[in-house]
Amino acid sequence: MRRRTSAIAGLLATATASLALLTGCTADGTSTGAAGPESGRDRELTRAEQARLDEAEQRLVQRCMARQDFPYWIFPRVSADTERAFSDDFVQDDVAWAREHGYGGRLKKAFFAEKKRDRNLAYRQSLSPGARERYTTALSGGPDTPVRSVKLPGGGTVGTMLGGCEFTARKELYGDVDAFFRADKIATNLSGLYSPRLMRDRRYTAGVSAWSSCMKKATGRAYATPAATRADAAERTGGLSGKRAHAVEAGLAVAEATCSRQTSLAATLAALDREYGDPVRKRYGEEIATADSMRLAALERADRAS
């Protein structure tokens, strides 16, 4: 089962500077119940469906904030290519995408430029200290707002505030916000339970070694891992013009993707993820099914309300 990674959600949520673009902001309303694993619907949303749900959450936040006499502007929908640019794939294996977008540098730059023009951020900055505090309280809750914390399977905890339009909106879409938050955070943080064993597997180390040798032949440079290639791309493009920077980035990304295909590194990783990850996902099957079914139910509510 493909699991939606948390990396993109985290990056985009950070970029919204607490406006919770992708993490769930919505409107005042009452709970309509929560679909659980007993519903039998345990598929993930497609990227297009997730985009619709994200947009619906923003619309609900807009209505909720208006009821408290604050404006809220909906951020433009993030394209599939931009979302992909923020993904945490270990290795690039799409040669055509790499040729056009490199590692997504231009897409990321455009996204952050758009965020700097976000009217919500500008509006909040324009407020007096007292009004800004009221705005923040309306959006996400004040200092006394309860926080829900969930212990992650691999260690550590993550929390969310249970107040403001963000909470009220999630309640309208998901029903039992507490159940969804717990299930979702567990379901999207399972890789740490098996990735250390996967990375010690000889098939993995042999695959990375073969890929590294291919990259040496293709670029004349020594790269131990794809992460090293991307770090080098960032260093080598610093200070270059947009066109020249993209040419360098795309060249390295195409080499990475080509070598990934020639050495079957991406396929090896996918097979190892199934071998090591499926037992873990089975162990947490209830949480995965709950998160997926509740997200599907939230999408249905959003579509009915649109």
Average pLDDT, the chain: 86
Does residue 194 register a pLDDT over 50? yes
The 8-class DSSP code of residue 175 comes to S
pLDDT band at residue 221 under the 50/70/90 scheme: very high
Does residue 93 register a pLDDT over 50? yes
The lowest-confidence range among 21-30, 65-74, 255-264 is 21-30
What does the pLDDT average to over 252-256?
97
For 121-142, what is each residue's pLDDT tens digit?
999 999 999 999 999 999 999 9
- Looking at residue 28, its pLDDT comes to 31
Backbone angles phi, psi at 116, to 5 degrees: -65, -25
For 26-75, what is each residue's pLDDT tens digit?
333 333 333 333 344 568 998 889 889 989 999 999 999 999 999 999 98
- Residue 250 CA to residue 102 CA, distance in Å, equals 4
Q: Which residues, 6+ apart, have CB-to-CB distance to 81 below 8 Å?
A: 97, 101, 104, 107
Q: Strands 157-161 and 147-151, how do they pair? A: antiparallel
The lowest-confidence range among 1-5, 66-70, 299-303 is 1-5
What does the pLDDT average to over 84-94?
88
The lowest-confidence range among 18-27, 78-87, 286-295 is 18-27
Q: Which residues, 6+ apart, have CB-to-CB distance to 76 below 8 Å?
A: 114
| 4 vs 168: which has the higher pLDDT | 168
What does the pLDDT average to over 216-225?
96
- Token readout for 47 is 């990227």
- How many C-beta atoms surround the C-beta of residue 200 within 10 A? 9
What does the pLDDT average to over 77-95?
89
Does residue 262 register a pLDDT over 90? yes
What does the pLDDT average to over 230-251?
92
- Looking at residue 32, its pLDDT comes to 33
- Looking at residue 225, its pLDDT comes to 95
- Looking at residue 47, its pLDDT comes to 84
Does residue 20 register a pLDDT over 90? no
